[in-house]
Amino acid sequence: MPMTEPVLTKRIPTYPYGDPKDRHAVWYDEYVKTGGYEALAAALEKEPAAIVDTVKDSNLRGRGGAGFPCGLKWTFLPKDYEGQRYLAVNSDESEPCTFKDRMLLDFDPHQLLEGIAITCWACGLQTAYIYIRGEYHEQAVTVQKAIDEAYKNGVFGKQGLMKGKVDFAVDCYLHRGAGAYVCGEETGLLESLEGKRGWPRIKPPFPAVAGLFGKPTIINNVETLACVPHIVQHGSEWFKSLGCESTIGGPPSYGTKLMGVSGHVNRPGVYECDLGFSLRTLIDEYCQGMKGGKKLKAIIPGGISMGVLTADQVDAELDFDIGRKNDLLGLGTACPTVLDEDTDMIMVARNITRFFKNESCGQCTPCREGSGWIYKILCRIEEGEGTTRDLDLLLEIAGSMGAMPGTTICGLADGNNWAVRTIINKFRDEFEARVKPSLVPVTMSV
């Protein structure tokens, strides 16, 4: 279904709503003139618990990849704890082919800051840390300038939210990461924030109970928090009027979603669509079709860790049910990478596994060793030295590593697992054409 009007991008001209040349960073004065911080003012007139209930009732699901209900996560904070609490904003965005949060940081940083302020008020969080990807040099400068403006105008600081409108003060800090993919995992992010080696923690305890510096912590993605002001201002029923219900009896996929499209299309970019939007419409109408008029071969629908779709699956709906319907890990970041008929899928698989091998933190043996084995086997196949038995070996190794088989702490190995398995299973003929028959040992009877 198409989107009736932009929500997150209403201040950011983007196809098909305007000319990208008109894009510019929206600073405090312009943000306020266009309705900014009205939602925060409205939130401060309500009890914090009422805001949590509104967000929970909206069924806002995390936009960072996992799709966990945001409001439900907020309720995990201990009720009787009166000490320091933290908000950690996941702005790492290191999933390959994903760049949708970057647009919010570039052009509308105060939308994020307003979401942070409302979340802190609703959950009783005194300090927020924006953990931004180390390679986002320009974005870090933009966000820091917006934070400085927010302090200057009384959003953050010792005087309390909105210059003392309520007796609750929030501090907000920007923290730059060092370029590790695994720090996108929430507990790896916390370890990095604490100045330690960035690798995931064993859970439980979960961050809501013992997170940053051992204190209760909520971790939300940039796009997720950017949705919060709109839900507070317009209500949960308005939010549920966008997006779609589940068609297989699962949780709904409400709201709009930023979708960053890359690959072999005529007009790559970030588009805002209702959840439930079809890949075909996104590619053919928004992205104006395949580059050079070539045929579609495959789509990676939500970051490389989600797996791959074939051209026959191009009518897949971009909602949180896409994984169960199409043999994928999930919707992920909803940033499709489109591949044309000339794409070598063996090279794609090898390149993906090289990334995961390099980014494994090494803490879990199945991930550390299995990622390397998969990469070596795929290199052998790409060079024409593989055998048919190597294909079964790849699937066996991939299927035995990951948090879901219960062999690793975090989901990095699952991303490697699903990418490899879906590419081999859905393009098996292409792999078999590049390998040699396996030599079957002969058993001699006496």
> Taking 70 as the threshold, does the pLDDT of residue 444 lie above it?
no
pLDDT tens sequence across 367-383 = 999 999 999 999 999 99
Q: How confident is the model at residue 439 (pLDDT cuts 50, 70, 90)?
A: low
Say yes or no to pLDDT of 446 above 50.
no
**pLDDT single digits (tens) 83-96:** 999 999 999 998 99
pTM of the predicted protein model = 0.93
Structure confidence by residue, pLDDT tens digits, 258-291: 999 999 999 999 999 999 999 999 999 999 999 9
Q: What domains appear along the chain, each with residue ranges and CATH number?
A: 20-241 (3.40.50.11540), 256-340 (3.10.20.600), 345-432 (1.20.1440.230)
Average pLDDT value for residue range 110-127: 97
pLDDT at 308: 95
- Percent of the chain predicted with pLDDT > 90: 83
Q: How confident is the model at residue 178, as a pLDDT?
A: 87
Can you give the three-state secondary structure of the chain, one letter per residue? Answer: CCCCCCCCCCCCCCCCCCCHHHCCCCCHHHHHHCCCCHHHHHHCCCCHHHHHHHHHHHCCECCCCCCCEHHHHHCCCCCCCCCCCEEEEEECCCCCCCCHHHHHHHHCHHHHHHHHHHHHHHHCCCEEEEEECCCCHHHHHHHHHHHHHHHHCCCCECCCHHHHCCCCCEEEEEEECCCCHHHHCHHHHHHHHCCCCCCCCCCCCCCCCCCHHHCCEEEEEHHHHHHHHHHHHHCHHHHHCCEECCCCCCCCEECEEEEEEEECECCCEEEEEECCEEHHHHHHHHCCCEHHHCCEEEEECCCHHHCCEEHHHCCCEECCCHHHHHCCCCCCCCCCEEEECCCCHHHHHHHHHHHHHHHCCCCCHHHHHHHHHHHHHHHHHHCCCCEHHHHHHHHHHHHCCCCCCCCCCCCHHHHHHHHHHHHHHHCHHHHHCCCECCCCCCCCCC
Grade residue 442 by pLDDT with cuts at 50, 70 and 90: very low
pLDDT in tens, 129-186: 999 998 999 999 999 999 999 999 999 999 999 988 888 999 999 999 988 899 999 9
- The tens digit of pLDDT for each residue in 378-436 reads 999 999 999 999 999 999 999 999 888 889 999 899 999 999 999 999 999 999 999 88
Q: What is the pLDDT of residues 38-76, one digit of tens each?
A: 999 999 999 999 999 999 999 999 998 888 999 999 999
Q: What is the pLDDT of residue 419?
A: 93
> For 288-332, how does the pLDDT look when each residue is reduced to its tens digit (9 = 90+)?
999 999 999 999 998 899 999 999 999 999 999 999 999 899 999
Give the residue-averaged pLDDT of 78-82. 88
187, pLDDT greater than 50: yes
